[in-house]
Structure 1
Amino acid sequence: MSKKVALITGATGGIGFQVAKRLGNDGYTVVLNGRDDEKGAACLAELKDAGIDAEYVSFDVTDDEAVNKHVAAIGDKYGYISVVVNNAGGLGGRSSMEEMSTEFYRSVMALNVDSAFFVSRAAIPYLKKTTGGSIINCTSNAGWNAGGPGAGIYGVSKGAVHVLTRALAKELAAAGIRVNAVSPGTIDTPFHAQIKATKPEVFASWKDSILLGRLGEPEEVASVVAFLASDDASFITAETIQIGGGQALGI
Structure 2
Amino acid sequence: MKNKIALVTGGNRGLGRDMALQLARKGLDVIITYYSRKEEAFQVVEDIQQMGCNATALQLNVGEFKDFDHFFNQLVRELKENFVSERFDYLINNAGIGLNIPFMETTEEQFDLLLNVQYKGVFFFTQKAVNLIKDGGGIVNISSRLAQASMPGYAAYAAMKGAVETLTRYLAKELSPRGIKVNAVAPGPIATDFAGGVIRDNVQYNAKVKELTALGRVGEPEDIGGVVAFLCSEDARWITAQRIEVSGGMSL
CA contact (8 A) 2:192 2:200 kept: no
What is the Cα deviation at residue 197 of structure 1? 6.8
Aligned equivalent of 2:94: 87
Q: What one-letter code is carried by the residue in structure 2 that aligns with 1:55?
A: T
Q: What one-letter code is carried by the residue in structure 1 that aligns with 2:246?
A: I
Stretches (4+) displaced over 4 A: none
Give the secondary structure class of the aligned counterpart of 1:61.
coil
In 2, the alpha carbon distance for the partners of 1:197 and 1:187 equals 7
Unaligned runs of 5+ in 2: 80-84
Q: What one-letter code is carried by the residue in structure 2 that aligns with 1:70?
A: F
Aligned equivalent of 2:82: none
In 2, the alpha carbon distance for the partners of 1:217 and 1:30 equals 21
CA contact (8 A) 1:88 1:115 kept: no
In 2, the alpha carbon distance for the partners of 1:170 and 1:21 equals 29
Aligned equivalent of 2:65: 64
Q: Does 1:174 align with 2:177?
A: yes
Q: How does 1:85-164 map to 2 (within 5 A)?
A: 85-91=92-98, 93-127=99-133, 130-146=134-150, 148-164=151-167
Aligned length: 245
Aligned equivalent of 1:30: 30
Q: What one-letter code is carried by the residue in structure 2 that aligns with 1:24?
A: A
What is the Cα deviation at residue 10 of structure 1? 0.8
What is the Cα deviation at residue 186 of structure 1? 1.3
The correspondence for 1:190, drawn from 184, 193, 207, is: 193
Q: CA RMSD in A?
A: 1.8
In 2, the alpha carbon distance for the partners of 1:111 and 1:27 equals 30
The correspondence for 2:227, drawn from 221, 224, 237, is: 224
Give the secondary structure class of the aligned counterpart of 1:180.
strand
In 2, the alpha carbon distance for the partners of 1:98 and 1:197 equals 26
In 2, the alpha carbon distance for the partners of 1:220 and 1:150 equals 24
In 1, the alpha carbon distance for the partners of 2:102 and 2:203 equals 24
Q: What one-letter code is carried by the residue in structure 2 that aligns with 1:22?
A: Q
For normalisation by structure 2, the TM-score amounts to 0.90
Q: How does 1:6-25 map to 2 (within 5 A)?
A: 6-25=6-25
String of CA shifts for 1:145-183, please: whole Å, max 9, x gaps: 14x222110010110110010111111001111100100
CA contact (8 A) 1:184 1:243 kept: yes
What is the Cα deviation at residue 192 of structure 1? 5.9
In 2, the alpha carbon distance for the partners of 1:197 and 1:137 equals 23
Q: What one-letter code is carried by the residue in structure 2 that aligns with 1:38?
A: E
* Identical counterparts, % of pairs: 32
In 2, the alpha carbon distance for the partners of 1:183 and 1:51 equals 30
What is the Cα deviation at residue 198 of structure 1? 5.6
Q: What one-letter code is carried by the residue in structure 1 that aligns with 2:186?
A: S
Give the secondary structure class of the aligned counterpart of 1:145.
coil
Aligned equivalent of 2:238: 235
CA contact (8 A) 2:45 2:57 kept: yes
Aligned equivalent of 1:208: 211
Distance 1:47-1:2 versus aligned 2 partners, 3 A rule: closer
For normalisation by structure 1, the TM-score amounts to 0.90
